[in-house]
């Protein structure tokens, strides 16, 4: 099963609070007038430029094992290698909000309009996460249709470049998923073009399989420990 996921531009527009948090404002902060003015410019600009799209492809554990090992550059031990074999269902995915937004951000930086560029960049980053959530919701609904969504089934995304899955894993992922149909390409550095995109694997399984300790050697280098918040959320929902 492979499908293109149509996403409306209005469905990925983030709220101001999420954008402010990405800009390192404290939660529930009231922005000053300059920041509020920048938000009033950036959000409509994003809405006019964004062209979100996604692609989703269901795979089995054997298929993903080949993709995961990729070019053989993963860390010796990773959370993912123990999680995906325990999954109920797996799906590769990729989302993007399109070239136009990234191009406009670059133009603003080049013309030294750093403030608006930074705010638009934050809006675009939040929107890309929302787009990925929408594709995950599509997989959730598919599992429900297939009768594979039990009361304890939780979905979580994993991407190359994180948690010991080497970023070179993008190549095998792209070769299988073929996200060029939604305008996504891969650079020699394995970064995606456009940059405001996310790809990876969605794992559906019991909440327990996702609950790993962040004690791997590469965890020391992680600045965000974002996995902790993501794991916490699946227990709350």
Q: For 78-92, what is each residue's pLDDT tens digit?
A: 999 999 999 999 999
Give the pLDDT of residue 56. Answer: 98
Q: For 188-212, what is each residue's pLDDT tens digit?
A: 999 999 999 999 999 999 989 988 8
Residue 232 DSSP SS3: helix
- Longest CA pairwise span in the chain (Å): 54
Task: Tell me the CATH number at 137.
Answer: 3.40.109.40
Is 80 exceeded by the pLDDT of residue 99? yes
Q: What residues make up the domain containing 209?
A: 2-236
More confident residue, 218 or 47: 47
Rg over CA atoms, the chain:
18
The angle at the Cα of 160, spanning 194 to 229, to the nearest 5 degrees, equals 100
Q: What is the mean pLDDT of the chain?
A: 94
Determine if residue 183 is left, alpha or beta; phi over 0 gives left, psi from -120 to 50 gives alpha, anything else beta.
left
Give the mean pLDDT of 164-176: 96
Is 90 exceeded by the pLDDT of residue 230? no
Give the pLDDT of residue 91. Answer: 98
Q: Is the pTM of this model over 0.85?
A: yes
Which DSSP letter does residue 157 get?
E
Give the pLDDT of residue 171. Answer: 97
CA distances (Å), origin 190, targets 91, 96, 122, 133, 168: 20, 15, 22, 22, 6
Q: What is the spatial distance between Cα 53 and Cα 175, in angstroms, rounded to a whole number? A: 18
Residues 6+ apart with CB under 8 A from 212: 79, 82, 83, 227, 231
Exposed e or buried b for every residue in 31-42, given b needs 16+ CB within 10 A?
Answer: beeebeebbeeb
Q: For 112-154, what is each residue's pLDDT tens digit?
A: 999 999 999 999 999 999 999 999 999 999 999 989 888 889 9
Give the mean pLDDT of 159-174: 96
Give the pLDDT of residue 51. Answer: 96
Strand-pairing partners, residue 93, are 56, 200
Number of domains in the chain: 1
């Amino acid at each position: 099963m492979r499908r293109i996921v149509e996403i409306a531009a209005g469905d990925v527009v983030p709220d101001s609070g999420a954008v402010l948090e990405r800009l390192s404002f404290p939660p529930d902060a009231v922005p000053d007038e300059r920041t509020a003015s920048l938000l009033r410019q950036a959000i409509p600009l994003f809405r006019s430029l964004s062209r979100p799209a996604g692609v989703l492809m269901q795979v089995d554990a054997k298929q993903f094992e080949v993709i995961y090992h990729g070019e053989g550059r993963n860390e010796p031990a990773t959370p993912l290698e123990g999680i995906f074999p325990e999954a109920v269902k797996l799906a590769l995915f990729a989302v993007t909000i399109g070239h136009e937004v990234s191009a406009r951000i670059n133009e603003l930086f080049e013309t030294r309009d750093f403030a608006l560029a930074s705010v638009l960049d934050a809006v675009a980053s939040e929107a890309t996460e929302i787009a990925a959530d929408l594709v995950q919701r599509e997989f959730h609904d598919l599992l429900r249709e297939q009768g594979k969504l039990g009361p304890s089934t939780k979905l979580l995304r994993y991407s190359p470049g994180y948690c010991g899955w080497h970023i070179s894993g993008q190549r095998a992922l792209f070769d299988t998923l073929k996200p060029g149909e939604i305008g996504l390409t891969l650079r020699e550095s394995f970064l995606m073009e456009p940059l405001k995109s996310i790809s990876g694997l969605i794992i559906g399984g019991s909440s327990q399989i996702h609950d790993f300790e962040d004690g791997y050697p590469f965890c020391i280098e992680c600045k965000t420990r974002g996995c902790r918040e993501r794991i916490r959320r699946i227990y709350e929902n």
